[in-house]
Chain A
Amino acid sequence: MYAYDEIDRTLVNERVSEFRDQVKRRLSGELTEDEFKILRLQNGVYLQLHAYMFRVAIPYGTLASNQLRALAHVARKYDRGFGHFTTRQNIQFNWIKLAELPDALEDLAKVGIHAMQTSGNNMRNVTSDQWAGVAPGEIEDPRIWSELIRQHTTLHPEFSFLPRKFKIAITASDHDRAAIKIHDIGLKLIKNEKGETGFEVLVGGGLGRTPFIGKTIKHFVHGRDILSYIEAILRVYNQYGRRDNIYKARIKILVHELGIEKFSREVEEEWQHIRNSSLQIDDEVIEDIRSRFTYPAYEKLPHMPDELRQAAADTDFEAWRKNSVAPHKVQGYSIVTISLKPIGKPPGDATADQMDALADLADEYSFGEIRVGHEQNLALPHVAKRDLPALWKALDKLGLATPNVNLITDIIACPGLDYCSLANARSIPIAQELTRRFANHELANLIGRLHINISGCINACGHHHVGHIGILGVEKNGEEVYQITIGGRADEGAALGNLIGPGVKFDEVADVIEDVVEAYLALRERPDELFIDTVKRLGVEPFKERVYATR
């Protein structure tokens, strides 16, 4: 865990008091809605279909139990008793009153949580691997660098009014859980031949109307130079990024229009001017940040405790364990993913009571730590294996032990027409229907790893382009129509999906997905060939044939 000190707390408090003043000026009419809009966005406040929506940052997805309790408190006191975890390590509240927002922010500030830059045309919340610091085989804990970059980009005087929003994601593992290739800047922590820590830097990824997979702009940037390199990229983007058309303002368009070679030459030139400036990071600074991350005092535990051996007889427990428990760096411990995708419920929602209860379980079983991943699930990162059976029982009581992580009902979905003013179609009801169709665990298990991602409009908040199956809601003649793509992925092999045919009506979506899955089961070479691999091997055609032949 990273501990805020007095300096960090002071900044967050100053931000809250500034926003309180801005809200006051808005309510008195001193600020017009147009002037206020950008200020509220910089504090995570959107105006939605029914009310203001409030987006709170969970930097690199790490939460302490008292912080999760504070989120529960906000859900209970200022909202309708629940929150919605998003694909960007944020949580959203959908029913907050503007006049109460400063109080909600103040309550969160007490535990070192804020909503700075969770929206608006600035540097967004830095995201990272939800298993950071505990995943076996990572180069080092990527959160140290995430925190360095979070600090550097917070209230940055040059980059708070960019052409468009800007997102950075960091991973330190070969298996990319942070989806770095679909971010404006993606950073992969690596070591060079000399054993020095640095980054492969990718640029220009992003979804939305014009999706792109990020391209490598530099194979190695030394850790000490990473801030100056990021600053160089941003400065080029700030000056040359298009502002005439919001659909073309993202850095991915600039990179695409200039070409990666020309873009990287511009960045290189800028970088040479600033790389030896005060932006260079001395080891002492990194060590200071490192020292403020604390790690649990792990015990020396057996690899296979008796508790686990005994529990193995319970098939329900085993189904959950196989699905939700992942290996940990430290022997005798596991990482437990908690599915926020119960059958028939909106993906990513948690009630205030569930959040409180999870905070308690984190205290009891995971050294008080919780993680939030981009798949809209949570994780407990340090669970002793001997505690797994007890934890499972407790989670089951809370309705949080659905054994579907990475299976077909582990769906990512944006709020769509249920909350979002930009939506063209419903997302949540589609997700709910699909979870019901595939509720049978045996069937889901037989299908294996398969990600369905749903967005209610072209903005792609539900990452539909990179779903193994992507579902995009569009509007046609006043009706909701859904386009279906297959073959997308967001990991180290990131790819955009391809359309399988004409859009289908709301009522037909679940049928079509069933057809796609049946086609896959018939087409796969072996039971362990994943959906995504079958699509890669065969392309879209055989799926198209099977799905549309009968319609």
Chain B
Amino acid sequence: MPLVNGGKIADDRFVKLAVDTPLPDSGDILVPAERFIAEADALLKRAGKVGVIWPNNRDIDELVPYLGKVAAVALVFPTFRDGRAYSQARLLRERYNYRGELRATGQILRDQFVFMLRAGFDSFEVKKQADAEAFMQTAKRYSVFYQPTGDGRITALHRRMQLRHSEGVGT
């Protein structure tokens, strides 16, 4: 599954561990939520970065105390129709100011990239190679956004205000 990070296809430096995989001595790891919560102290002490895979039906509040210490949070789209992780992503970025890697995993298709970028994702495990290759092109599909989100893009409402004011200056 190709990974898109920072807008480009990139190597995945994280190794995904299952609940019971033995802990490797070094290297970056992505750990399921239940294991992370159970073994947080030990996991965070070892060398190498730790990321957590957080399911979409588990309260994000539980993760909040660790946000300063994790290098990545992977949220899950079990199917592309299930949009719970969009809410989790916005909460992490906008309410809890999480600035690490925010990864979309599961059924990730190009038709969701714009929504995901707006919700705060910056890393994508894409299902199809062709979709990963089309990332930049697809991400630029829209230039107008009606609602404010944490991605900071100016909304149509405010763009209109700016246009009005600049027109006002000219006349």
Interface residues of A in 117-137 (CB under 8 A from B): 121
Contact of A98 with B by CB under 8 A: no
A158 touches B87 (CB 8 A): yes
* Residue from the list B86, B95, B109, B141 in contact with A18, Cβ < 8 A: B141
Which B residues touch A158, using CB under 8 A?
Answer: 83, 86-87, 90, 115, 119, 149
Contact of A238 with B by CB under 8 A: yes
Which B residues touch A159, using CB under 8 A?
Answer: 83, 86
Can you name the residue of chain A whose Cβ is closest to the Cβ of B107?
A35
Contact of B84 with A by CB under 8 A: yes
Which B residues touch A152, using CB under 8 A?
Answer: 146-147
CA–CA, A38 and B156, complex, Å? 26
Q: What mask results when residues 112 to 147 of chain B are scored 1 for a CB within 8 Å of chain A, else 0?
A: 001110110000000000100000000001111111
Contact of A10 with B by CB under 8 A: yes
Interface residues of A in 130-175 (CB under 8 A from B): 151-162
A154 touches B83 (CB 8 A): no
* Residue from the list A14, A155, A161, A285 in contact with B81, Cβ < 8 A: A161
CB contact under 8 A between A157 and B81, given known A11-B146, A11-B156, A288-B164: no
Contact of B12 with A by CB under 8 A: no
Can you name the residue of chain B whose Cβ is closest to the Cβ of A231?
B147
Q: What mask results when residues 204 to 238 of chain A are scored 1 for a CB within 8 Å of chain B, else 0?
A: 00000000000000000000000000000001001
CA–CA, A331 and B150, complex, Å? 49
Chain B contact residues, majority secondary structure = helix
CA–CA, A76 and B165, complex, Å? 43
A7 touches B160 (CB 8 A): yes
Contact of A314 with B by CB under 8 A: no
Contact of B15 with A by CB under 8 A: no
Which B residues touch A160, using CB under 8 A?
Answer: 83, 86, 115
CA–CA, A426 and B91, complex, Å? 47
Q: What mask results when residues 46 to 63 of chain B are scored 1 for a CB within 8 Å of chain A, else 0?
A: 000000000000000000
Give the number of chain B interface residues (Cβ < 8 Å). 35
Contact of A22 with B by CB under 8 A: yes
Contact of B111 with A by CB under 8 A: yes
A288 touches B130 (CB 8 A): no
24 contacts between A and B (CB under 8 A): A7-B144, A8-B156, A11-B156, A14-B141, A14-B144, A35-B80, A39-B111, A121-B81, A152-B146, A155-B114, A156-B147, A157-B116, A157-B147, A157-B149, A158-B115, A159-B86, A160-B86, A161-B80, A161-B83, A162-B83, A239-B88, A288-B160, A288-B161, A288-B164
Interface residues of A in 87-127 (CB under 8 A from B): 121
B143 touches A10 (CB 8 A): yes
> Other CB < 8 Å A-B pairs besides A157-B115, A158-B86, 7 of them?
A5-B160, A7-B159, A151-B156, A161-B86, A161-B115, A273-B95, A277-B94
Can you name the residue of chain B whose Cβ is closest to the Cβ of A281?
B157
Interface residues of B in 67-126 (CB under 8 A from A): 80-84, 86-88, 90, 94-95, 109, 111, 114-116, 118-119
Can you name the residue of chain B whose Cβ is closest to the Cβ of A122?
B83
B146 touches A157 (CB 8 A): no
A151 touches B160 (CB 8 A): no
**A-to-B contact residues, CB < 8 Å:** 5, 7-8, 10-11, 14, 17-18, 22, 30, 35, 38-39, 121, 151-162, 235, 238-239, 243, 273, 277-279, 284-285, 288
A14 touches B143 (CB 8 A): yes
Can you name the residue of chain A whose Cβ is closest to the Cβ of B88?
A239
B87 touches A235 (CB 8 A): yes
Min CB–CB distance B163 → chain A (angstroms): 8
Can you name the residue of chain A whose Cβ is closest to the Cβ of B159?
A7
Contact of B7 with A by CB under 8 A: no
B144 touches A11 (CB 8 A): yes
Contact of B148 with A by CB under 8 A: yes
Which A residues touch B109, using CB under 8 A?
Answer: 35
CA–CA, A279 and B130, complex, Å? 36
Which B residues touch A22, using CB under 8 A?
Answer: 111
* Residue from the list A5, A10, A121, A278 in contact with B148, Cβ < 8 A: A278
CA–CA, A121 and B83, complex, Å? 10
Which B residues touch A162, using CB under 8 A?
Answer: 83
Can you name the residue of chain B whose Cβ is closest to the Cβ of A5?
B160
CA–CA, A227 and B143, complex, Å? 22
Which A residues touch B146, using CB under 8 A?
Answer: 11, 151-156
B161 touches A285 (CB 8 A): yes
A30 touches B80 (CB 8 A): no
CB contact under 8 A between A239 and B84, given known A7-B156, A285-B161: yes
Min CB–CB distance B108 → chain A (angstroms): 12
Which B residues touch A285, using CB under 8 A?
Answer: 157-158, 161
Which B residues touch A278, using CB under 8 A?
Answer: 148
CA–CA, A216 and B90, complex, Å? 28
CA–CA, A279 and B157, complex, Å? 11
CA–CA, A303 and B161, complex, Å? 41
Which B residues touch A121, using CB under 8 A?
Answer: 81
CA–CA, A241 and B82, complex, Å? 11
Min CB–CB distance B34 → chain A (angstroms): 19
